[in-house]
Amino acid sequence: MHELGIAQNILEIVQQAVPEEQASAVKRIRIRAGQLSGIVPDSLQFCFSVIVRETKMKDAELEIEQIPTLSRCKDCQIQFKMEDLAFICPSCKSTNLELISGKELEVVDIELSEANDEGI
C-alpha cells in the first residue's frame, strides 16, 4: 500500500509550509489527484487519518479532489475525457494522443481554523 508513503509525504509538505506554532490550527488539507496517479482515495484517507493522529495536526481533514483523465488527439485535434481509460481517440480512432490531465498529485491548499486565520 503506497498510500501510506503518500500520506506521509503530504504531512511533511504541510509541516514545511505551516509554522510549528500554528500546526494545531490546520483544519483541512486539499489535494488534487488525477485518475492515473495510482492512488486509492479511501486508502489514502485512512492512512492520513492514522498518521496525523500522532501530530499537532490531529484534527486536520484530508480532502481529495479527483481529476479526470483528459487527452487530445494529435491527429484530429479533438480533446476528450477518457471514461474507460482506453487510449484511443473516440473520433478518429487514433492512438496518437497527448495526455492533458490525469497524473496530478499535488497539495493545493491548507486551511487553518479561524482562530489562526493568518493565511498560509
Query: Residue 77: inside a domain, yes or no?
Result: no
- How far is it, in rounded angstroms, from Cα 19 to Cα 112? 11
Q: Is the pLDDT of residue 119 over 90?
A: no
How many structural domains does the chain have? 1
Residue 19 sits in a domain whose CATH number is 3.30.2320.50
For residue 37, the enclosing domain spans 3-68+101-114
Return the pLDDT at 85: 78
Report the sign of the C-alpha dihedral through residues 103, 12, 60, 109, in that order: negative
DSSP state, residue 113: P
Q: For 98-117, what is each residue's pLDDT tens digit?
A: 999 999 999 999 999 976 44
The string of DSSP letters for 59-101 reads T-EEEEEEEPPEEEETTT--EEE-SS---S-TTT----EEEEE
Q: What is the mean pLDDT of residues 21-46?
A: 95
Measured in degrees and rounded to the nearest 5, phi and psi for residue 19 equal: -55, 145
CA atoms of 116 and 113, how far apart (whole Å): 6
Q: Can you give the pLDDT at residue 117?
A: 45
Residue 87 included in any domain: no
